[in-house]
């Protein structure tokens, strides 16, 4: 009987002690399991920014940063655009699956960069390089001059990191809210 009382006392004591114990190693059991991540608003100023070596595209940011990590001059696309009778000269820079086109129109009275000509240029760009999804076109003279500088810098081997932020700022200014 003494043994039964002792076992009962030990069993009750251990039951009480287990109820008061922490689950330290298990972590938070009620965590968010839908794989949603918090949205990060305009925090590109920290050192956690996207690097220029094509790593970490999906940062969850909503700051309009285009993450234009693959920057290249598209001479073949530019030549195809210049083959259009309305276009005198063109500069094209491709970033990832976006093409940014600066055009100088052949100033015939009927030549203007209307929706019809933009669609025509966009079609030429996508036919020349099927990896392009979005085409941004402008005949703004300042944009044309700036694109000329960027194209020459890239051709001359200037590191893209030297003008990367300036390029993104130019794109945001000329094409606000991703307008084409």
Q: 128-139, pLDDT tens digit by residue?
A: 999 999 999 999
* Average pLDDT, integer, range 34-55: 49
Show the tokens assigned to 115.
């929706």
Q: In the chain, what are the domain boundaries?
A: 71-178
Task: Give the separation between CA 52 and CA 25, rounded to whole angstroms.
Answer: 39
More confident residue, 124 or 20: 124
pLDDT digits (tens, 9 = 90+) for 65-93: 445 457 889 999 999 999 999 999 999 99
Q: Say whether pLDDT at 6 is over 70.
A: yes
pLDDT digits (tens, 9 = 90+) for 7-38: 888 888 777 777 666 666 555 555 555 555 65
pLDDT of 56 reads: 41
Question: Distances from the Cα of 83 to the Cαs of 41, 91, 93, 180, in angstroms?
Answer: 43, 13, 18, 21
Contact predicate 115/159, CB 8 Å: no
Residues near 17 by Cβ (< 8 Å), separated by ≥ 6? Answer: none
More confident residue, 154 or 145: 145
pTM: 0.59
Q: Mean pLDDT over all residues of the chain?
A: 76
Residues near 168 by Cβ (< 8 Å), separated by ≥ 6? Answer: 65, 66, 68
Residues near 175 by Cβ (< 8 Å), separated by ≥ 6? Answer: 100, 136, 138
CATH code of the region 71-178: 3.30.300.30
């Amino acid at each position: 009987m003494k043994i039964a009382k002792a076992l009962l006392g030990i069993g009750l004591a251990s039951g009480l002690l287990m109820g008061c114990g922490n689950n330290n190693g298990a972590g938070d059991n009620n965590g968010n399991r839908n794989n949603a991540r918090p949205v990060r608003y305009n925090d590109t100023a920290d050192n956690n920014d996207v690097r220029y070596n094509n790593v970490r595209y999906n940062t969850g940011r909503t700051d309009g940063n285009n993450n234009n990590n693959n920057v290249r001059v598209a001479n073949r696309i530019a030549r195809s655009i210049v083959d259009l009778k309305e276009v005198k000269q063109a500069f094209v820079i491709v970033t990832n699956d976006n093409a940014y086109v600066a055009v100088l129109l052949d100033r015939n009275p009927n030549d203007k960069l209307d929706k019809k000509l933009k669609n025509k240029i966009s079609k030429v760009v996508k036919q020349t390089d099927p990896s392009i999804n979005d085409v941004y076109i402008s005949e703004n003279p300042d944009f044309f001059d700036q694109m000329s500088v960027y194209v020459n810098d890239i051709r001359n081997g200037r590191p893209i990191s030297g003008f990367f932020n300036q390029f993104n700022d130019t794109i945001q200014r000329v094409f606000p809210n991703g307008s084409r």
